[in-house]
Amino acid sequence: MLEVDIEILRRDQTVAANFQVGQGERFALFGPSGAGKTTVLNALAGLVRIHKGTVVLGSTVLSSTRHPRRQVPLRHRHLGLLRQRAGLFPHLSVRQNLRYAGASTKELEELSEQIGIKELLDRSPATLSGGQAQRAALARVLLGPCRALLLDEPFVGLDLSLRTQLAGIVGDIAVARQLPTILVTHELAEAQAFADRIGVIDRGRIVQIDGPSQVVLEPATRRIAELLGYRGFPPEDPKLVGNRRIGVHPARVVTGERVVVGPKDIRAQVRILDSWPSGPGWELLCEYLGEQFSFVAPQRYYAHQQLSVTILDPPRFNLDGNRVESR
């Protein structure tokens, strides 16, 4: 179990984090750029000093500002850190990189077979593609003294299928080896695909921790909803303007009369303001009760058209921006 309760002083803000990650659990830290995700990860790795708090891995206190103060040096922390840049040592071959921490030939062969880099072992890191380099870096970390995995957006810049494949490999290994694993990302879909739980971090604070679906369906505040991609907050009740607001997510609006409306869904008559092609469909900018939002529809509609849409089980927020249970 990795237990984190820390505060880090950064030039622009204080970053605080409090969460636990169990053995074999995959935890994602999701938030916008500058929110403090990487700072938290660097503090766990020991690259950044914490101002207050503790980091405990299993029964080992890695960092503590309480008595007795403790800051375990990097080489004794036994953490595997994987960053956006693979960071293979460029003067060593892939095999030498993998053996850096003294892994046996048998371990090396087995793991490179599992990760699919067996044929790359005698290559120089400079000749690898981004995905190959990340795989090799993952193998190097796993062959080292690794009791927990820290992933700092390691799949950014790779194409989608490679990302999915790599995230799958890492996730499977984390579970098989029972490693507490933390993935830092600013992409919600990636966090959802990877993690058992997601922590949303904003302006240096973890504002919500929940399962991958709850975090999107039940954002705790309007601000979190905005971070998760909700694009409009019209009043809930057309007759009581300004009472409560609902959150509209572009992917949770459906068009057409035939949709069966659930008890928590909202049927709305919207006015189209603009439309443009988006993927296989059309993104429509519309207005509803004085609020604008956009969503993707399978077909094109034109400005000034009225359209009947269903907003699927939207979260409700009171005027303070906190979520309230739907009626």
262 contacts other proteins (rule: CB under 8 A): no
Lookup result for tokens 């709305």: 268
| Helices of type H across 1-129 | 37-45, 94-98, 105-115
Question: Measured between alpha carbons, how far is 160 from 142 in angstroms, rounded to an integer?
Answer: 24
Residue in 24, 58, 144, 250 binding other proteins, rule: CB under 8 A: 144
Residue written as token pair 């605080």 = 16
For residue 145, the 8-state DSSP code is: S
Tokens of 137: 């870096």
Per CB under 8 A, 85 contacts other proteins: yes
Considering only residues 116 to 135 of the shown chain, the ones binding other proteins according to CB under 8 A are: 126
SS3 breakdown of the chain: % helix, strand, coil, rounded to 5?
A: 25, 35, 40
9 lies in the binding site for other proteins (CB under 8 A): no
Sign of CA dihedral 300, 304, 309, 312: positive
How many angstroms separate the CA atoms of 252 and 268, rounded? 13
Contact with other proteins (CB under 8 A): which of 37, 77, 135, 231? 77
Compute the least distance from the CB of residue 158 to other proteins, in Å.
Answer: 19
Local structure of residue 261 (DSSP, 8 states)? P
Among 16, 44, 57, 81, contact with other proteins (rule: CB under 8 A): 81
Q: How far is the CB of 309 from other proteins (least distance, A)?
A: 45
> Which residue from 22, 34, 87, 116 is in contact with other proteins, where contact means CB under 8 A?
87
CA gyration radius for the chain? 23
Interface region with other proteins, contact rule CB under 8 A, candidates 98-106, 158-166, 192-200, 289-297: 98-106
- Strand pairing of 26-30 and 197-202? parallel
List the beta bridge partners of residue 242: none
Nearer of residues 141 and 215 to other proteins, judged by Cβ? 141
Burial class (CB in 10 A: 0-12, 13-18, 19+), 240: exposed
- Which residue, 145 or 298, has its beta carbon nearer to other proteins? 145
Region of 20-28, 32-40, 140-148, 288-296 interacting with other proteins (CB under 8 A): 140-148
Least separation in angstroms between residue 65's CB and other proteins is 21
- Should residue 47 be labelled a site residue for other proteins when binding is judged by CB under 8 A? yes
Out of 12, 33, 68, 73, point to the residue binding other proteins (CB under 8 A): 73
> Using CB under 8 A as the criterion, which residues of the chain lie in contact with other proteins when the complex forms?
45, 47, 73-75, 77, 79-81, 83, 85, 87, 89-91, 100-102, 126, 140-141, 144-145
